[in-house]
Amino acid sequence: MLGCGNPLVGDDGFGPAVAEQLLSMHPPKDICVINAGTGSRTILFNLVTGEPRPGGIIIVDALDAGKPPGVLFEAPLESLSLEKAEDFNVHMTPASNMLLKLRDMGVQIKILACQPAPLPGRIQPGLSGQVQAAVEPAAKRALVMASDMLSKR
């Protein structure tokens, strides 16, 4: 599980907050939790080019889908924009092109997203109340998703 986002930019820090929540819950040893922050591209690149590959990856990120702030949803990989796929921002999970490549290599990919409140135009650490309230439910949901992935291997 990769918790992606920038904790210095409001609700974009959702993914790292979920990763930290998961780590505090002491997940089973066969579930790897990484607070990827803004370094997810490097991690995904290493997964694409290295061996062994994981059987599945859950990306946890803030994603603007026009929903009310704090709403959790699974985003289909096919729904991600490939425009500027090398960028990382709240409108697209990290490196969608590499996620597609990993899927084509047989890795299960799931995206657990949370609708952010409008992001600040400056550095402002901390999640909005709605998104903070979604952190623990997202962590629990990510564990269920990971268990389901493991059972399908």
Number of domains observed in the structure of the chain: 1
Q: In the prediction, which pLDDT does 47 show? A: 83
Confidence of residue 87 (pLDDT cuts 50, 70, 90): very low
pTM as predicted:
0.89
Residue-wise pLDDT for 103-121, tens only, equals 998 999 999 999 999 988 8
**Strand ranges inside 38-76, DSSP E:** 56-62, 72-74
The mean pLDDT of the chain is 88
Report the candidate in 21, 27, 33, 89 with the shortest Cα–Cα distance to residue 59: 33
Q: What is the pLDDT of residue 94?
A: 52
For residues 53 and 17, what is the distance between their CA atoms, to the nearest angstrom?
Answer: 25
Could you list the residue range(s) of the whole structural domain that residue 72 is in?
A: 2-151
Mean pLDDT of 120-138: 96
* Cβ partners under 8 Å of residue 22, min gap 6: 1, 3, 33, 139, 142, 143
CB 151 within 8 A of CB 108: no
CATH of the domain at 141: 3.40.50.1450
